Amino acid sequence: MKRFIIKTLVLVAVFVGINLLLFLAVPKDKTDYLYEYNHKTNLLDTVPQPRIIFMGGSSIAFNNDSRTIRDSLGCNIINCGLHAGIGIRIPFEDGLQYIRKGDIVVLQIEYANYFSGGNGEPETLPAFMSVTGWRIWKSFNANQWKKLIQGIPRENITNLIHLARRTLKGSQEKPSQNQSFVYTKEGFNEFGDEVSHLDYPNLKYLGSGKKIGRAANEDFIEWLGQTIGRYEMAGAQVIMLPPACIMSSFNKNYNDHIKDALAKIKHPYIVEPSSMALPDSCMFNTEYHLNREGVRQNTQNIIRALKNNSAIQALKAAEETNSPV
């Protein structure tokens, strides 16, 4: 029995060692979608005030026309949405270091975060750590470390496949317009909007119709309230806006437990969540990714929701008079 345990431990150690070595040694595909995160943090660092910062997942990345929002509201726009698989905890906590007094942060969290805890997923966290140079590891909680470790073997397989393709073809693989949609960092514009999907055909919605009825994750709500408080202490104002999605997704994922949880931390949505849900015909390839018409409608919904907001009115007035907010 003792010998069996020793052999098992050795095998586990070898497996872990090989996976860690591959994870650190095999280069990531430089066109990877997640590399856009570095561009977004650069925008946070360099875009001047007055500015409105949108934070959330890919529902913001795919669904906002930041140029139109900028022209309508008269403020610089930074689209920090990227990928729900990262979770909301990482970008929201990491973004705090770039916040300036007077910033407006519009937080649009995909509804799943309220139930899952916003910690990200094993399929995404290893790649995210690679593209960001591991600079965020100190903020990881135990749940995120668990998911990161679980995802490393799969990430190694993905990296090895890309390495083989690059070796055989002599260059990195890039999508062409006649291919099906490919997630890549090349698809983003200067505001952080994903725009390459706008000319692709829609896919059929295949989501489940079963409605989520459980309460919001209490630990997540507590973290959310505390982190919003840290933003406010840094001089920012945080606006809670429901995420854009199609109606089938809204009917499945939203429940009044979310409303009650946001009331508990005294940061309710500024509009009714149903007002941000669009017809299913506006879907591109997931319940949270909109097509061209969906982006147009969602952008107008955002402008209507924010245009008369007191925080944004104060921000514009301060800029016009060059006075502090």
- Tally of domains in the chain: 1
Instruction: Say if CB 253 and CB 259 are below 8 A apart.
Output: no
Tell me how far apart the alpha carbons of residues 63 and 251 are, in angstroms, rounded to a whole number. 19
In three state form, how does the secondary structure of 118-139 look?
CCCCCCCHHHHHHHCCCCCHHH
CB 242 within 8 Å of CB 56: no
In a domain, 15, yes or no: no
Strands 289-290 and 283-286: antiparallel
Per-residue pLDDT tens listing for the chain (325 residues): 666 566 555 554 555 565 555 556 556 678 899 999 999 999 999 999 999 999 999 999 999 999 999 999 999 999 999 999 999 999 999 999 999 999 999 999 999 999 999 999 999 999 999 899 888 888 899 999 899 888 888 877 777 777 677 667 655 444 444 458 899 999 999 999 999 999 999 887 666 667 888 999 999 999 999 999 999 999 999 999 999 999 999 999 999 999 999 999 999 999 999 999 999 999 999 999 999 999 999 999 999 999 987 777 777 676 666 655 4
- 251 falls within a domain: yes
Check if the beta carbon of residue 99 is closer than 8 Å to that of residue 231.
yes
Asked whether residue 223 is domain-assigned, the answer is yes
Beta carbons within 8 Å of 193's beta carbon, 6+ residues apart: 61, 64, 65, 66, 79
C-alpha distances out from residue 79 to 55, 57, 64, 214, Å = 7, 10, 8, 30
- Both tokens of 63, joined, read 């669904």
Residue-number span of the structural domain to which 187 is assigned: 27-321
Residue 11 lies in a domain: no
Residue 17, domain member (yes or no): no
Would residue 2 count as lying in a domain?
no
What one-character DSSP code corresponds to residue 280? G
Q: What is the CATH number of the domain that holds 219?
A: 3.40.50
Opening angle at CA 235, ends 230 and 240, nearest 5 = 65
How many helices (H) and strands (E) the chain has is answered by 13, 8
The answer to whether 324 and 313 have CB atoms below 8 angstroms apart is no
CA 57, 112, 288, 181 torsion-angle sign? positive
Domain presence at residue 275: yes
In a domain, 74, yes or no: yes
pLDDT score recorded for residue 175:
44
**Alpha helix positions (H), 47-141:** 58-61, 66-73, 89-95, 112-116, 125-131
Q: Is 105 exposed, middle or buried (0-12, 13-18, 19+ CB in 10 A)?
A: buried
